[in-house]
Structure 1
């Protein structure tokens, strides 16, 4: 970066994970993929932003599944030198009284207009560090609470020091993508110290720090909000500010990363309108806005749909809202583009899973993190009913994928349960569970299935973005009304809802019945017998959903509401 470029960058975006390239396993799922899409749209729009993350040298993990669906996690070794450039700059943080050195790697994201966003990866794997400290940027979400706390010290405190060492002197806003980076606010606060003041709340300029900080929270699930026992905090951090300002840093005898971000940020948002409501209920007394998530359309459109949009909507790559003109694309060409994407998926599934799915059967997709509240097995909860629907209304086939967190026993059991159902149904319905779900598979599945299924237990879905990727490729959604789908669903126009917003079930049996009823009486008959109506839904999914639920619109909202 030249001096002029260093001076013009005004926003620093901090994220624990980021999905920029399928060959760089520096993400675990939706949070990281969203971060990558956000950065790509910032580059497209020329937003003067930089990004800080951890190297995650051994990735999240590679998933291996045996014949029973038992998951084994294998470390990933990826050639960082092929993607990243090491910078001649090092910084350090203090952990447990030790100096931990941090090296910085750079990755440049280029936008459609030629503008760029640099991404800085922090790396503690240096010879001068102790053996344990060298591992601190190895595994994404690995290890125990101590390991995670050390990682978050590197990300938050080390990240602020890193961008200054590189030469960025004019950063006006620090955007925390989840609470993992909240210690950046502690680092900023420490720098405002006035030695002459005795009152702790006058000694440090809380308002100055708040004016610099932005916090986006992504989950209503308790496990997504990091908390650390105070004995670990005392041991790890050289700063005693958390103990001098307990109302800012501590809740229930733990250092609460979400609380820190809430207390030290001027702008806070959830990631869908419903999620904003839920978050305000979780954290009463705080001003919490909402900006609904989106996707980077250029990254997630299948090659067939890219060609189609280039043909009928020139300029869509720099103006995502222009996809509303998809209503004028001939239906038959939408059908053919989808057939191409579907063929690519079915060929991939058959090769990977050793199955013989066919091109013309109604194909349902369900791919996301395997955890209990996502209810991946809901579709298979009554296999007799499912077989009856299959025999009565038309042949179906199902594609599953998803990793469970290594410590999520419930998620791992979900995978095993699905494998058991696959065996039970092997003679009636073809079902595949793809191993090692990643961005490449995500693009294939969201673009290649005929229906995207999502049935989390409401209101635990903050937003969800995989359904947006499906819409972009003309694939309708069938989803519980939670997260983004409350805003995106127009019944029988852009897709279909399971249940209603007035009566949201926490009863999985009732949700399953609603799901089966919609498949049997509406969706599958339309797919097989009313092709023109089906193609109209596909076209509206693109025009009404993809044109709005994208990171171009989302980033513009952040610029207007938070960055300016």
Structure 2
């Protein structure tokens, strides 16, 4: 087949179109910022492993999210990520048009193929407006992930949703369902709706001529956050100036809200299946959007992608076939303890070598090493473990060390201040407790960091952690979780068996934000001093059993293979 027509083989059968503003395929293709994008990439990889007919749509983000540097005072600085799409992607000879502020904007897709060792392939289309003939400003609309101002975001979401639907049509894809991964892609429903309109002569029947039920039957929507700022809203005067009226704005107000153009509400109103990303998050979402039927499908990770090479070798030896059947990890007790520990020691040495090469700091492999890596947002409370330095020194000096990582959104000043505070406390602890902050957290850094620590820490304000998947990446590498009971950890936690909780248990059906810093910090310190450190230092066999439980009771289930099978049976073939 001609190279320029090779993509046509993907159009021969009906597919699920998976739309996401960010997709984390690999660190070399910086089209992601964090958890949402990594989940999207893992979803696509599992779809390829399971040979599911899917096509993914995103933007190319020519300058990425940003490259993080932290100055000696602990202040984050941001720089563009320069990469060459043509090195990894194939430009397809098809274009589509969208209208932005009354101007035609051309869109052209790049193709990337996610290939599974099992033989499946999922095409990923990355939309680009840097095309000759487009206005200069429009050529940069697909440059930055979550960059620019509110208008820039609205224009990007027009390109992703409306432009993505039109690109699929131009490429002759036969789409069975459209899956919107978060509300960023919700405007694809407008393109679908515009194609349903029947001819009417009576103006009074105008509203009825738009077949919303037909669009609903085609759409699946996953909402990812209980944080209000995570739901995109735009003022109507901006929308009416920038967005073409492909459906009447009067109808759009009924579907997306009268006070503002709410993309989450638009997706909810035009999707037949809606879900949150953990059982607790499903409950929270129902309370946020009363009247909508909202299911829950807990997130997962792509097992093979996030398993360190030391554990890959071990699993291949004792659990052949585990990568495509992660449920085999339930048999982890067949692996001798000393081989589990040797694999973990290899991952730890791999991480420590990276830290020494990049920061000059040398850590002690014998000390309990605690890892924390998240987007630096205040509700994630990265500095909770540092809230009482005297208590931390009392229990931890000479016994533990800490590794942090994470970016703050460029406009999130409180998040930047949190990084700065951590740096100040690192200085205070210098010479007593070793603390490292790794710059520019990305897929490559995560691949080294998560398997190489002994304990994975997570301290969000309840109930604002929708799911959280870094703890799942820890579990598959035998790293126990020490976390607030929120998101997926409510489902994965068995106290002292798979890891440990921080703070009180979740309240039944509670949607109240509950983050008592003092109470949570005291529980964290108490368990570190009296339960976790003694087990680690005095009972190696007991610690390894918790490691095995993390693998056999968490990692066997919390993965994207399990997740995708649920999407197929509950959402895609309904």
Give the TM-score, by structure 1 length: 0.98
1:363 is aligned to: 369
Structure 1 residue 127, shift from structure 2 partner: 1.6
| CA–CA separation in structure 1 for the residues paired with 2:351 and 2:229 | 34
2:324 is aligned to: 318
1:294 is aligned to: 300
2:554 to 545, 559, 562: 545
1:93 to 90, 94, 98: 98
1:17 is aligned to: 22
Structure 1 residue 68, shift from structure 2 partner: 1.3
| CA–CA separation in structure 1 for the residues paired with 2:151 and 2:207 | 29
Q: 1:333 aligned to 2:342?
A: no
Contact 1:62 1:76 in 2 (8 A): yes
Contact 2:22 2:145 in 1 (8 A): yes
1:486 is aligned to: 490
Q: Secondary structure at the match of 2:396?
A: helix
Structure 1 residue 357, shift from structure 2 partner: 0.9
1:514 is aligned to: 523
Structure 1 residue 502, shift from structure 2 partner: 4.8
Q: Secondary structure at the match of 1:28?
A: coil
1:241/1:2 Cα in 2 relative to 1: closer, same or farther (>3 Å)? Answer: closer
1:28 is aligned to: 33
Q: 1:194 aligned to 2:198?
A: yes
| CA–CA separation in structure 2 for the residues paired with 1:315 and 1:34 | 23
Q: 1:447 aligned to 2:460?
A: no
1:411 to 397, 415, 422: 415
| CA–CA separation in structure 2 for the residues paired with 1:379 and 1:87 | 50
Contact 2:191 2:246 in 1 (8 A): no
Give the TM-score, by structure 2 length: 0.96
1:172 to 152, 176, 198: 176
| CA–CA separation in structure 2 for the residues paired with 1:52 and 1:514 | 44
Contact 2:253 2:261 in 1 (8 A): no
| CA–CA separation in structure 2 for the residues paired with 1:201 and 1:40 | 41
| CA–CA separation in structure 2 for the residues paired with 1:405 and 1:247 | 30
Q: 1:103 aligned to 2:108?
A: yes
1:508/1:339 Cα in 2 relative to 1: closer, same or farther (>3 Å)? Answer: same
| CA–CA separation in structure 2 for the residues paired with 1:390 and 1:506 | 24
2:48 is aligned to: 43
Contact 1:97 1:236 in 2 (8 A): yes
Deviations 1:276-313 (A, max 9, x none): 00000000000000000000011000000000000000
Unaligned runs of 5+ residues in structure 2 are 1-5, 508-512
2:231 to 210, 225, 241: 225
2:476 is aligned to: 472
1:410/1:90 Cα in 2 relative to 1: closer, same or farther (>3 Å)? Answer: same
2:3 is aligned to: none
1:385 is aligned to: 391
| CA–CA separation in structure 1 for the residues paired with 2:521 and 2:100 | 50
Structure 1 residue 349, shift from structure 2 partner: 1.2
Structure 1 residue 242, shift from structure 2 partner: 5.6
Contact 2:90 2:112 in 1 (8 A): yes
Deviations 1:219-275 (A, max 9, x none): 000111000111111111111636222554333521000000000000000000000
Structure 1 residue 200, shift from structure 2 partner: 3.5
2:118 is aligned to: 113
Structure 1 residue 485, shift from structure 2 partner: 0.1
Instruction: Choose 493-502 or 95-104, whichever is displaced more.
Output: 493-502
| CA–CA separation in structure 2 for the residues paired with 1:20 and 1:242 | 37
Contact 2:59 2:142 in 1 (8 A): yes
Q: Secondary structure at the match of 2:414?
A: helix
Q: 1:422 aligned to 2:431?
A: no
1:308 is aligned to: 314
Structure 1 residue 417, shift from structure 2 partner: 0.3
Contact 2:463 2:514 in 1 (8 A): no
| CA–CA separation in structure 2 for the residues paired with 1:9 and 1:446 | 38
What's the Cα RMSD here? Answer: 1.2
1:536 to 516, 541, 545: 545
Contact 1:369 1:404 in 2 (8 A): yes
Q: How many residues align?
A: 561
Deviations 1:445-481 (A, max 9, x none): 1100000000000000000000000000000000000
2:510 is aligned to: none
Structure 1 residue 328, shift from structure 2 partner: 1.5
Unaligned runs of 5+ residues in structure 1 are none
1:426/1:315 Cα in 2 relative to 1: closer, same or farther (>3 Å)? Answer: same
| CA–CA separation in structure 2 for the residues paired with 1:91 and 1:163 | 9
| CA–CA separation in structure 2 for the residues paired with 1:509 and 1:305 | 37
1:563 is aligned to: 572
| CA–CA separation in structure 2 for the residues paired with 1:12 and 1:219 | 22
Q: 1:208 aligned to 2:214?
A: yes
2:148 to 143, 149, 152: 143
Contact 1:242 1:255 in 2 (8 A): no
Contact 1:242 1:249 in 2 (8 A): no
Contact 1:112 1:317 in 2 (8 A): no
Q: Secondary structure at the match of 1:463?
A: coil
Contact 2:23 2:31 in 1 (8 A): yes
Contact 1:248 1:263 in 2 (8 A): no
| CA–CA separation in structure 1 for the residues paired with 2:371 and 2:99 | 47
1:44-83 matched pairs, under 5 angstroms: 44-83=49-88
1:41/1:408 Cα in 2 relative to 1: closer, same or farther (>3 Å)? Answer: same
